[in-house]
Amino acid sequence: MKLIRYGQPGQERPGLVDDQGRLRDLSAHISDIAGDVLLPDTLARLRALDVASLPEVSGTPRIGPCVGQVGKIICVGLNFSDHAAESNMAVPQEPVLFLKPSSSIVGPNDDVEIPPGSEKTDWEVELGVVIGKTAKYIKKENALEHVAGYCVVNDVSERAYQLERGGQWDKGKGCDTFAPLGPWLVTRDEIADVQNLGMYLDVDGKRYQDGSTKTMIFDVAHLVWYISQFMSLQPGDVISTGTPPGVGFGQRPQIYLKAGQTMRLGIEGLGEQQQRTVEARA
């Protein structure tokens, strides 16, 4: 299933995208795509619905973040061997973890704000892993059973805040609008091989990132297992699994975002995002 949330910020309704690409309303069956709705039993119940009988949504409503009520976003740094090389950083022996606050989440096509005084706002297309069942001290061989599905994440980053302001990555990762999610939450059964998905990101029509999840250092199963050894994962939590090469930080000379630009990014089978950059507003 391709699950989706649509409507104005804070008023999103649950839906799904049918095989013809039409948006169908799920409000009669669930209140939101969040929390316990992501449990395996609930997803199985939604999968059994007669999709053709669901109300079709007219027009072109705003698409919201594909998951609601996200408790936390756990990000993995330097998880692509080719991105670690362009960053001139050593390949990590264990996953590098940091957090993005839920206040950074926006819809896949919402504006991305350039923070006041920022000169190094950067882009990162990433595979998002949405947790569907609580994971705490799990076994690696059972890790994927705890995954509800996958989505596109733009891990927007302010590199000066991240690397030059005291060494805490969270500062450069947590600004408002720095975590567009969606357009869809694609359930795990729809993706045949999550470790072989093409990924791309363009800025103003120029392709900067053109990679694949196959170059991830730590795969999805390893990450879910590993993170569960340090913190419990609850339904609706999102793991952002790292980015392939081609970020602005890795260009020579380095290139960073300015207001008035357009990012377009996507992952094979998971849909596409498009954001306009604007100056931050209070």
The alpha carbon of residue 131 and the mean position of all alpha carbons in its chain are separated, in whole angstroms, by: 12
Query: Using one digit for the tens of pLDDT, what is the confidence trace for 195-238?
Result: 999 999 999 999 999 999 999 999 999 999 999 999 999 999 99
Return d(Cα 145, Cα 221) in angstroms, integer: 9
Alpha-carbon dihedral of residues 51, 57, 60, 64, nearest 10 degrees? -70
Label residue 141 exposed, middle or buried (CB < 10 Å: 0-12, 13-18, 19+): exposed
Where in the chain do CATH 3.90.850.10 domains reside? 73-279
pLDDT, tens digit only, all 282 positions of the chain: 999 999 999 999 999 999 999 999 999 999 999 999 999 999 999 999 999 999 999 999 999 999 999 999 999 998 998 777 777 777 889 999 999 999 999 999 999 999 999 999 999 999 999 999 999 999 999 999 999 999 999 999 999 998 888 867 888 899 999 999 999 999 999 999 999 999 999 999 999 999 999 999 999 999 999 999 999 999 999 999 999 999 999 999 999 999 999 999 999 999 999 999 999 987
DSSP 39-60: SHHHHHHHHTS-GGGSPBPPS-
Domain 73-279 falls in which CATH fold? Answer: Fumarylacetoacetate hydrolase; domain 2 (3.90.850)
DSSP 217: S
Tokens of 71: 């408790």
Helix H segments across the chain?
A: 40-47, 81-86, 159-163, 169-173, 220-228
Tokens of 24: 């169908």
**Could you tell me which residues are beta bridge partners of residue 275?**
263
